[in-house]
């Protein structure tokens, strides 16, 4: 499956800078209704688009949306609610029905899975943004399991007249599954304050640090990707000129004053996401480098609310290191499994 990612950089220590990369839109559900175009334009909502035109509410012939024959104005299928929605038969699209003849009007229709030669030249389509999953279905009685009903067919397969959704038992259904992925880091700066060999410091958003464990910043993640998401982190350990604080590694501990250690741990709230070992411990860990990522959090599916991760960051130095301000650049990446 396609993997979509969002990346954020963090400078941790005295400065904490977030660089936001493009985030995909979150779309609404597809909705369709039949309107009288003589009375009302197709301006029902987000990217409203004419999908189909009919000569009547039942026992009707079909017309393509690009044509504007006056006899077809009274029963126009207008769809809306999805950013990037259109009626193009190119790009990311699905065929709604195939139309008989060559003119695109005064036509009977057949399902998109039929192959009758007289229906080869014209088709009505629904299109959307790249990456969206468009589904057209044909069901008896209702469009349960789909976003909306487009119209109905007098016959179930081919050579059919058409009508409004309630006219016939054979329903033409549609759904658009739009990818969404959001990722946010809460703060613009965090800091430990000056590190000394006698103290243990936790980074805070006001930059002065704390002697007791506290939240440094939050990371929020959400997606509707079927395979969920992963949140990765990379970055060097803390440094001050040539002085380097040791990364704790992959075995969680709580460092003691007088040692030189740097690490994080995370706590999840809301949604279905979880923190990944070793960052889910009561202790701290850090096993990433400037070139290698570590996994901090994950969700096994995308069908859930946003999970916010409270990140706690700890640092200590020993008597051989220079006291003062230590810094590093951390990079978070979220990958959705579409």
Do 74 and 216 lie in one domain? The reply is no
Do 191 and 81 lie in one domain? The reply is no
Higher pLDDT, 131 or 73: 73
**Whole-structure pTM value:** 0.71
Q: In this predicted model, what pLDDT tens digit does every residue of 258-313 receive, in sequence order?
A: 999 999 999 999 999 999 999 999 999 999 999 999 999 999 988 778 999 999 99
Q: Of 177, 210, 234, which residue is a domain's last?
A: 177
Strand partners, 219: 185, 309
Do 37 and 170 lie in one domain? The reply is yes
Q: In this predicted model, what pLDDT tens digit does every residue of 6-49 receive, in sequence order?
A: 766 655 543 333 333 333 333 458 999 999 999 999 999 889 99
Closest CA to 274 of 295, 250, 253: 295
Residue 179 and residue 26: Cα distance in Å, rounded? 7
Do 291 and 252 lie in one domain? The reply is yes
pLDDT value at residue 10: 57
Q: Is the pLDDT of residue 1 over 90?
A: no
Do 8 and 54 lie in one domain? The reply is no
Give the mean pLDDT of the chain: 91
pLDDT value at residue 37: 96
Q: Of 177, 212, 247, which residue is a domain's last?
A: 177
- The answer to whether 109 and 55 are in contact (CB under 8 A) is no
Q: What tokens does 116 get?
A: 């009758």
b/e 288-313 (16+ beta carbons within 10 angstroms → b): beeeebbebbbbeebebebbbbbbbb
Do 153 and 203 lie in one domain? The reply is no
Q: Is the pLDDT of residue 169 over 70?
A: yes
Do 159 and 187 lie in one domain? The reply is no
Domain that holds residue 259: 3-24+180-337
Q: Is the pLDDT of residue 103 over 70?
A: yes
Domain count for the chain: 2
Do 62 and 148 lie in one domain? The reply is yes
Do 40 and 170 lie in one domain? The reply is yes
pLDDT value at residue 130: 87
Residue 283 and residue 135: Cα distance in Å, rounded? 48
Do 156 and 233 lie in one domain? The reply is no
pLDDT value at residue 311: 97
Mean pLDDT of 138-157: 97
Q: Of 122, 147, 177, which residue is a domain's last?
A: 177
Do 122 and 232 lie in one domain? The reply is no
Do 104 and 135 lie in one domain? The reply is yes
Sign of CA dihedral 102, 103, 107, 112: positive
Sign of CA dihedral 85, 120, 77, 178: negative
Q: In this predicted model, what pLDDT tens digit does every residue of 176-216 receive, in sequence order?
A: 988 888 999 998 789 999 999 999 999 999 999 999 999 99
């Amino acid at each position: 499956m396609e993997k979509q990612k969002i990346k954020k950089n963090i400078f941790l220590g005295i400065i904490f800078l977030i660089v936001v990369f493009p985030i995909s839109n979150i779309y609404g559900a597809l909705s369709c209704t039949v309107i009288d175009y003589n009375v009302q334009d197709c301006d029902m909502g987000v990217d409203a688009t004419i999908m189909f035109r009919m000569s009547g509410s039942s026992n009707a012939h079909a017309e393509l949306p690009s044509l504007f024959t006056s006899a077809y104005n009274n029963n126009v299928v207008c769809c809306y609610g999805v950013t990037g929605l259109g009626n193009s038969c190119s790009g990311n699209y699905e065929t709604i029905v195939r139309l008989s003849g060559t003119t695109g009007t005064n036509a009977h229709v057949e399902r998109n899975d039929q192959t009758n030669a007289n229906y080869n030249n014209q088709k009505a389509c629904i299109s959307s943004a790249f990456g969206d999953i468009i589904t057209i279905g044909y069901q008896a009685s209702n469009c349960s399991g789909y976003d909306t009903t487009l119209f109905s067919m007098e016959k179930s397969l081919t050579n059919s007249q058409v009508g409004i959704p309630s006219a016939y038992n054979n329903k033409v259904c549609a759904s658009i599954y739009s990818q969404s992925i959001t990722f946010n880091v809460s703060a613009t700066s965090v800091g430990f304050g000056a590190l000394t060999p006698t103290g243990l410091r936790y980074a805070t958003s006001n930059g002065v640090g704390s002697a007791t464990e506290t939240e440094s910043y939050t990371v929020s993640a959400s997606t509707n990707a079927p395979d969920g998401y992963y949140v990765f982190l990379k970055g060097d350990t803390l440094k001050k000129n040539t002085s380097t604080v040791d990364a704790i590694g992959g075995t969680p501990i709580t460092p003691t004053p007088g040692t030189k250690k740097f690490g994080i741990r995370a706590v999840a709230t809301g949604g279905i996401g979880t923190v990944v070992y070793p960052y889910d411990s009561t202790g701290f860990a850090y096993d990433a480098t400037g070139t290698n990522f570590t996994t901090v959090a994950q969700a096994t599916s995308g069908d859930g609310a946003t999970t916010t991760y409270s990140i706690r960051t700890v640092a200590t130095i020993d008597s051989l290191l220079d006291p003062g301000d230590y810094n590093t650049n951390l990079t978070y990446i979220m990958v959705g499994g579409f």
